[in-house]
Chains A and B, each alone.
Chain A
Amino acid sequence: MIIIKGTGVFGGIAFGKLAFYKRMENAVKRRKIDDVSAEINRFEKAKEMAILQLRNLYNKAFYEAGEAQAQIFEAHQMMLDDGDYCESIVNIVTTRQANAEYAVALTAGNFSKIFLEMEDAYMRERAADVRDISKRLINALAGGNQQGMHFVEPVILAADDLTPSETVQLDKEKILSFVTIGGSINSHTAILSRMMNIPAVIGAGDSLRAEYDGKEAIVDGFTGTVYVEPDANTIGRLRKKANAHAKKKNLLERLRGQENITLDGKKIDVFANISSVTDVAIALEHDAGGIGLFRSEFLYLQKKDYPCEEDQYKAYKLVAENMRGRKVIIRTLDIGADKQIDYFNLPIEENPALGYRAIRICLDRTYVFKTQLRAIYRASAFGNIAVMFPMIISMDEIKEIKDIVETVKSELDAGGIAYSKEVETGIMIETPAAVMISDMLAKEVDFFSVGTNDLTQYTLAIDRQNRKLDRFYDSHHPAVLRMLKTVADNAHKEGKWVGICGELGADLALTEFFLAIGIDELSVSPAYVLPLREKIRGIDLSANK
């Protein structure tokens, strides 16, 4: 038995065979072709298809993982369209009367060699990009989107680290778990495992060897351990652990429809965060009491130009209707920083996290903001909609927002268009500034929702994407916890409610703290709704007094 230690990403235990992710495995054979122009035509068509795939991947990755992860797909589109690259392929097809697949493979070899010979480590890595786009092209030539591996039986997928383009295309039904040599808790594989609710161990290092391919293994996501060829003892022990975990899962099923109430009778709302209209189904499946954060960005990401009022209205209306009277909190457009959209033509900034983003863009480009608000208010006639504004730092901003909201409402009134008069308006608390003036802000709004990711980042001055900083990053930093208490106290003094919609909301180690300081609502990924409910129902706040 071999024991490999890494970092566990998602609790759970998986039993299965290890399968190593294989790249560029399809051997390309050289064929002589007779019709050169037909072959070049075939290549052009495949190139178009590959670029289209990349465009879709860009969008998909944008929602799932953010702009930083998605960017690479845009660069890939340009590489596929690169004059030198395409000329080389066309040349080989023409002069050697070779099939396009062969021409692509040969070109890929030549181009990646150029990068591999560079002295700069970053540039050497680009050889992988050449291989990635060439593989995509070869698959497109084969007539389809055959990227990724196909498995007959479910496997534990092992890899050095999976690229976004690889994870996005995996046949997710056939994957029991992920094990990677590299990766950090924010890597794409880690994010995916959390989304798929399957255990993963990342950063396993070199002890994870390709020669283990096909061997039986057990992944313990709780401890971050992989057992290759486990002995009978280990199998028995982990079976027990897995059974206990399965029982717990069943228990969670039984929590469906139950109240989120502590043993001593304190209630709290547990809502879900969603990023698209289809996510509503997942939120309902996990019995979320409402939508605590509806990221409206997706409407903008899918488009080549600003989405019109009608399209937005339809999307918001659909979500509100599907939630059947449960609250739906729509966050107005939050782009900039790590989320970019081409047609916004945002300037490149030295420090985007402290730059032109979210409400700052909306208050600048009020035509974009007003369109969104009109759509939200119109949809409010069909359900229980609330609206909240991101990245607030000042009272002036609130005043400006309120003026715009009033204008929108009076325009709707003038046009005889229906909307609910009871739309709550709230703000996200994401900046230390908002925390410090939360007593003042509370007078002006109906609720607060704390975005703990940004608040922690801005408070600790730590970039969450920077793996080197993982060891300095403390999500339970007392500075952040004290801020939460301040915000809750100031909201309650004005009779307003306060929620948390950042990742911290799902941290079960803090649930008791949140209840104790009087947080009224927690909004979490749909999969965390029921575990959170169980945790709440086991807490007795009176016991600590």
Chain B
Amino acid sequence: MKTFDYTIKDKLGIHARPAGLLVKKAGALTSSITISKDKKVVDAKRIFGIMGLSVKCGETITMTIEGEDEDEDAEALEDFMKETW
């Protein structure tokens, strides 16, 4: 299991469209991926869950990656987060 924290820098936070991007990215990876914020945990492959977190600029989320390819997937995801937000 791999985890990393990420602080959202985009001033709009993770809204509908960016949530879609994240779902797309997570969906393409084989690991199971969860996002948590304030003890709330959601599946990163489900758009409503992510939108429901209502992540805003400056807030920190924790991503947990679990699976056979967790090392590569975690890296890919972290790169994606940095590029996108």
On A, residues with C-beta under 8 Å from B are 71-72, 74-75, 78-79, 82-85, 111, 114-115, 118, 120, 122-123, 126, 129, 347-348
Q: How long is the Cα–Cα vector from A79 to B24 in the complex, in angstroms? A: 12
Q: Are B16 and A129 in contact (CB under 8 A)?
A: yes
**Majority DSSP secondary structure for residues of B touching A:** helix
Q: Are A123 and B49 in contact (CB under 8 A)?
A: no
Q: Are B48 and A111 in contact (CB under 8 A)?
A: yes
Q: Are A83 and B46 in contact (CB under 8 A)?
A: yes
B23 within 8 A of A: yes
Q: How many residues of B contact A (CB 8 A)?
A: 20
Inter-chain contacts of A85 with B (CB < 8 A): 48
Q: Are A126 and B51 in contact (CB under 8 A)?
A: yes
Q: Which A residue's beta carbon lies closest to that of B18?
A: A348
Residues A78 and B54 in contact in the complex (CB < 8 Å), given A122-B15, A347-B83? no
Q: Are A123 and B51 in contact (CB under 8 A)?
A: yes
Q: How long is the Cα–Cα vector from A122 to B57 in the complex, in angstroms? A: 14
B37-58 vs A, Cβ < 8 Å mask (1 yes, 0 no):
0000001011111011010100
**Majority DSSP secondary structure for residues of A touching B:** helix
Inter-chain contacts of A114 with B (CB < 8 A): 52
Q: Are B56 and A79 in contact (CB under 8 A)?
A: no
Q: How long is the Cα–Cα vector from A483 to B19 in the complex, in angstroms? A: 42
B30 within 8 A of A: no
Q: Which B residue's beta carbon lies closest to that of A118?
A: B54
B5-24 vs A, Cβ < 8 Å mask (1 yes, 0 no):
00000000001110111011
Q: Which B residue's beta carbon lies closest to that of A111?
A: B48
Residues A78 and B52 in contact in the complex (CB < 8 Å), given A83-B45, A348-B83, A348-B84? no
Q: Which A residue's beta carbon lies closest to that of B45?
A: A83
Q: Are A75 and B16 in contact (CB under 8 A)?
A: yes
Q: How long is the Cα–Cα vector from A78 to B49 in the complex, in angstroms? A: 12
Q: A75-B19, A123-B51, A126-B51 are in contact. List 7 more A-B contacts (CB 8 A).
A: A82-B46, A85-B48, A111-B48, A123-B54, A126-B16, A347-B83, A348-B21
Q: How long is the Cα–Cα vector from A114 to B48 in the complex, in angstroms? A: 10
Q: How long is the Cα–Cα vector from A492 to B45 in the complex, in angstroms? A: 58
Which of B15, B23, B83 contacts A78 (CB under 8 A)? Answer: B23
Residues A75 and B20 in contact in the complex (CB < 8 Å), given A83-B43, A118-B54, A120-B54? yes
Q: Are A74 and B20 in contact (CB under 8 A)?
A: yes
Residues A120 and B51 in contact in the complex (CB < 8 Å), given A82-B46, A83-B43? no
Which of B45, B47, B83 contacts A75 (CB under 8 A)? Answer: B47
Q: How far is the CB of B55 from chain A (nearest CB, A)?
A: 10
Q: Which A residue's beta carbon lies closest to that of B49?
A: A84
Inter-chain contacts of A115 with B (CB < 8 A): 51-52
Inter-chain contacts of A84 with B (CB < 8 A): 43, 46, 48-49
Inter-chain contacts of A74 with B (CB < 8 A): 17, 20
Inter-chain contacts of B21 with A (CB < 8 A): 348
Inter-chain contacts of A75 with B (CB < 8 A): 16-17, 19-20, 47
Q: Which 10 A-B pairs have the closest CB atoms?
A: A83-B46, A78-B47, A75-B20, A82-B48, A75-B16, A78-B20, A82-B47, A84-B48, A82-B46, A84-B46
Q: Which B residue's beta carbon lies closest to that of A85?
A: B48
Interchain residue pairs with CB less than 8 A apart (9):
A78-B20, A82-B47, A83-B43, A84-B46, A84-B48, A85-B48, A115-B51, A118-B54, A123-B54
Inter-chain contacts of A83 with B (CB < 8 A): 43, 45-46
Q: How long is the Cα–Cα vector from A126 to B17 in the complex, in angstroms? A: 11
Q: How far is the CB of A225 from chain B (nearest CB, A)?
A: 36
Q: How far is the CB of B51 from chain A (nearest CB, A)?
A: 6
Q: How long is the Cα–Cα vector from A74 to B54 in the complex, in angstroms? A: 19
Q: How long is the Cα–Cα vector from A85 to B16 in the complex, in angstroms? A: 15
Inter-chain contacts of B15 with A (CB < 8 A): 122-123
Q: How long is the Cα–Cα vector from A111 to B45 in the complex, in angstroms? A: 17
Q: Which A residue's beta carbon lies closest to that of B85?
A: A348
Q: How long is the Cα–Cα vector from A71 to B16 in the complex, in angstroms? A: 10
Q: How far is the CB of B46 from chain A (nearest CB, A)?
A: 5
Q: How long is the Cα–Cα vector from A20 to B26 in the complex, in angstroms? A: 41
Q: Are A71 and B17 in contact (CB under 8 A)?
A: yes
Q: How long is the Cα–Cα vector from A111 to B46 in the complex, in angstroms? A: 13
